Amino acid sequence: MSDLHLPFWPAHAPKHLWVPETHLYRNVEVSAMRFPRKPFVIFYDTVIDYARFQRETEAIAGWLQQRCGVKKGDRVLLDMQNSPQFMAAFYGILRADAVVVPVNPMNLTDELRHYVKDSGARVAFAAQELLPRIGPLLAPGQDGHLDHLIVATYGDYLEADTDLPVPEFVRAPRVALTQPGALAWMDMLAADLRPGPIAAGPDDLAVMPYTSGTTGHPKGCMHTHRSTMYNAVAGGVWGQVNQGGVGLAVLPMFHVTGMQANLNGTLFNGTTVVILPRWDRDAAARCVEKHRITGMALITAMVIDFMANPKLEDYDLSSLRRISGGGASMPRAVALALEHKLGMKYGEGYGMSETMAATHSNPPERPKEQCLGMPTFDVDARVVDPATMQELPQGQTGEIIVHGPQVMQGYWNQPEATAEAFVDIDGKRFLRTGDLAFVDEEGYFFFVDRLKRMINAAGFKVWPAEVEAMLYQHPAIQEACVIASSDPRRGETVKAVIVLKPAHVGQVTEQQIADWAHEHMAAYKAPRIVQFVDQLPKSGTGKVMWRHLQEQEKSGG
């Protein structure tokens, strides 16, 4: 907001943030020079120090340049779970002056084909378990296909004994590669090739994450070294990260939140990160205890699961100082449990692939519940009427628009979509987020819903996120997703898809939930249809896939 009053801006944080105007790879060089023997990555008790990380990324860059013909600005696909290889490939690609295209490892062949063709990538890094999906794209010399595929086996980095539960896909031994153009990761490192001098600068493209896409195919968000550097630095300053910090990397690094919190931010700050490829609440608690983890970035669904663990009190979690994240509003009951059991408040934030993670965050000393936080360093965020783009007064709901140094350049090869995504106001270029919110008198932003998710029930506007927040107050509800269901009289009516807590399964009926809802919220908001399910569909980042449920409902599935 142009004149936003922020009385509770963190006392330790400057309003303007100075960040290095350099290539992102310089952060590897600086940290490796300062802390060569310090643990950077801990992977099932295998320790990779900063010096080793630099050596391996240099070898990767050398291979890309000398054997794959990768040049400045070329796009390179990265398709893996959280692992030392994901992190090293990410920075090896950057060291080669190329652009990282991180993709969700849940993608199937046709989806991967879109990323390869749209980005123009001819080289990819992929994990061994994903070979059946990405292997068909390895057809050297053909249009829209890959020429080179470097295949990583997670088990190659299991170098230490561990008492942690290691998933089968991580333990799996290396398989022989027979396809032309496919190369084992360890063979690439063994070649130990050297790259040329760094040629890219802060305003060259560095990372191109793809949006999930509300319509049509996903679009590539063009981020430079400068825009990516900004939030890599900002998160540590906002959260007062110091050299003693140890993070848990369980949010997927192909997504911007995990990428910035646990990869780019960790490298810049010279801290240590403990990796889990997939969420496991007991493994997470064991890692906190074992490695004295100080901070965890977790989406709301992970915190709900973590706090629901009946064995939580068996672990020593005293090192934890901060749990932060976002993705959905934190249910009040879970927030209270977090404060009661662990003595900390959940620090919610808000951002998008288009903004390379956070544009808003709650002040560590004074967070508010179910709140996006306030605009962070150098961000001009406003709430406007989505039809007129006129700024709205405090308390009124409208669309969030943001201007800031972390905002993308635009969508790759999509000039029309880029033009639609931005609006010029007061000589500034603002990104339209498509998210509805309001601002309180202290400058905190509160999410209402997605602009296109509104339910029109007999002329009344119903925001599903608001109804979900109310439903979470019911003691039997573990998770809820609210969608629209067709109604011959009302046009649309409200439907709640609900996962019950295990102790309440068979003890509570769908009608009882509907009756409770009618007692606790306005009649037009209360779900008239309730459906119990064993689990809600979720994306690779752990977000509830409401669109999937909505499309299923429309098709009568």
Q: Is residue 304 part of a domain?
A: yes
Q: Is residue 5 part of a domain?
A: no
Q: Which residues contact 63 (CB under 8 A, 6 or more apart)?
A: 92, 150, 188, 191, 193
Rounded Cα–Cα distance for residues 186 and 26 (Å): 25
Res 215: pLDDT: 45
CB 230 within 8 A of CB 372: no
Q: Do 68 and 187 fall into the same domain?
A: yes
Q: Do 445 and 464 fall into the same domain?
A: no
Q: Do 101 and 240 fall into the same domain?
A: yes
Question: Which one has a higher pLDDT value, 150 or 326?
Answer: 150
Asked whether residue 461 carries a pLDDT value surpassing 70, the answer given is no
Q: How far is CA 418 from CA 413, 415, 435, in A?
A: 9, 5, 17
Q: Which residues contact 341 (CB under 8 A, 6 or more apart)?
A: 307, 312, 313
Q: Which residues contact 407 (CB under 8 A, 6 or more apart)?
A: 227, 354, 355, 359, 429, 431
Q: Which domain holds residue 381?
A: 376-449
Res 481: pLDDT: 94
Note the pLDDT tens digit of each residue in 27-77: 999 999 999 999 999 999 999 999 999 999 999 999 999 999 999 999 999
Interior angle at CA 299, CA 157 and CA 152, nearest 5: 20
User: Which of 32-46, 184-198, 226-240, 519-533 comes out lowest in average pLDDT?
Assistant: 519-533
CB 375 within 8 A of CB 10: no
Rounded Cα–Cα distance for residues 144 and 77 (Å): 13
Q: Do 183 and 218 fall into the same domain?
A: yes
Q: Is residue 222 part of a domain?
A: yes
Q: Which of 310, 300, 306, 317 is nearest to 372 (CA)?
A: 300
Q: Is residue 294 part of a domain?
A: yes
Asked whether residue 3 carries a pLDDT value surpassing 70, the answer given is no
22 DSSP 8-state letter: S
Q: Which of 20, 355, 21, 29 is nearest to 202 (CA)?
A: 21
Rounded Cα–Cα distance for residues 128 and 185 (Å): 10
Q: Is residue 273 part of a domain?
A: yes
Q: Is residue 486 part of a domain?
A: yes
CATH number reported for the structural domain that contains residue 523 in this entry: 3.30.300.30
Q: How far is CA 338 from CA 187, 300, 317, 374, 517, in A?
A: 46, 12, 12, 22, 25
CATH number reported for the structural domain that contains residue 387 in this entry: 2.30.38.10
Q: Do 385 and 472 fall into the same domain?
A: no
For the chain, the C-alpha Rg in angstroms (whole number) is 23
Q: Do 462 and 328 fall into the same domain?
A: no
Note the pLDDT tens digit of each residue in 388-426: 999 999 999 999 999 999 999 999 999 999 999 999 999
Q: How far is CA 138 from CA 126, 154, 178, 322, 507, in A?
A: 12, 21, 12, 43, 53
Position 179: which residue type?
A: Q
Mean pLDDT of 111-115: 90
User: Which of 154-163, 190-199, 279-288, 363-372 comes out lowest in average pLDDT?
Assistant: 363-372
Question: Which one has a higher pLDDT value, 333 or 475?
Answer: 475
Q: Do 89 and 161 fall into the same domain?
A: yes
Residue 354, both tokens: 């288009």
Q: How far is CA 270 from CA 41, 52, 435, in A?
A: 11, 14, 34
Q: Do 130 and 245 fall into the same domain?
A: yes
Residue 70, both tokens: 């990768």
Res 408: pLDDT: 98
Q: Do 402 and 307 fall into the same domain?
A: no
Interior angle at CA 469, CA 352 and CA 309, nearest 5: 85
The string of DSSP letters for 219-278 reads -BB-EEHHHHHHHHHHHHHHTT--TT-EEEE-S-TTSHHHHIIIIIHHHHHT-EEEE-SS
Asked whether residue 1 carries a pLDDT value surpassing 70, the answer given is no
Total structural domains in the chain? 3
Residue length of the chain: 557
Q: Do 184 and 298 fall into the same domain?
A: yes
Res 492: pLDDT: 85
Asked whether residue 331 carries a pLDDT value surpassing 70, the answer given is yes
Rounded Cα–Cα distance for residues 16 and 31 (Å): 24
Residue 126, both tokens: 């992929």
Q: Is residue 182 part of a domain?
A: yes
Rounded Cα–Cα distance for residues 554 and 155 (Å): 44
Residue 98's Cβ-side half-sphere holds a number of Cα atoms within 13 Å equal to 33
Res 212: pLDDT: 62
Question: Which one has a higher pLDDT value, 21 or 489?
Answer: 21
SS3 13: coil
User: Which of 248-257, 258-267, 286-295, 320-329 comes out lowest in average pLDDT?
Assistant: 320-329
CA-CA-CA-CA dihedral for 128, 39, 276, 301, to nearest 10: -140
| Residue where one domain finishes, among candidates 411, 428, 449 | 449
CATH number reported for the structural domain that contains residue 340 in this entry: 3.40.50.12780
Res 543: pLDDT: 79
Res 216: pLDDT: 57
Question: Which one has a higher pLDDT value, 362 or 491?
Answer: 362
Q: Do 329 and 394 fall into the same domain?
A: no
Residue 401's Cβ-side half-sphere holds a number of Cα atoms within 13 Å equal to 26
Q: Which of 25, 84, 40, 542 is nearest to 247 (CA)?
A: 40
Note the pLDDT tens digit of each residue in 427-451: 999 999 999 999 999 999 998 877 7
| Residue where one domain finishes, among candidates 402, 421, 449 | 449
| Residue where one domain finishes, among candidates 402, 422, 449 | 449
Q: Do 263 and 301 fall into the same domain?
A: yes
Position 402: which residue type?
A: V
Q: Is residue 2 part of a domain?
A: no
Strands 374-375 and 380-384: unpaired
Res 214: pLDDT: 43
Residue 31, both tokens: 């940290």
Q: Which residues contact 420 (CB under 8 A, 6 or more apart)?
A: 432
Q: Which residues contact 20 (CB under 8 A, 6 or more apart)?
A: 26, 27, 229, 233
Residue 157, both tokens: 């980095």
Q: How many CB atoms lie within 10 A of CB 217?
A: 13
The 123-127 sheet, strands edge to edge: 182-184, 148-152, 123-127, 75-79, 99-102, 205-207, 223-224
H or E segment and range at residue 63: helix 50-67
Asked whether residue 539 carries a pLDDT value surpassing 90, the answer given is no
Interior angle at CA 8, CA 6 and CA 14, nearest 5: 80
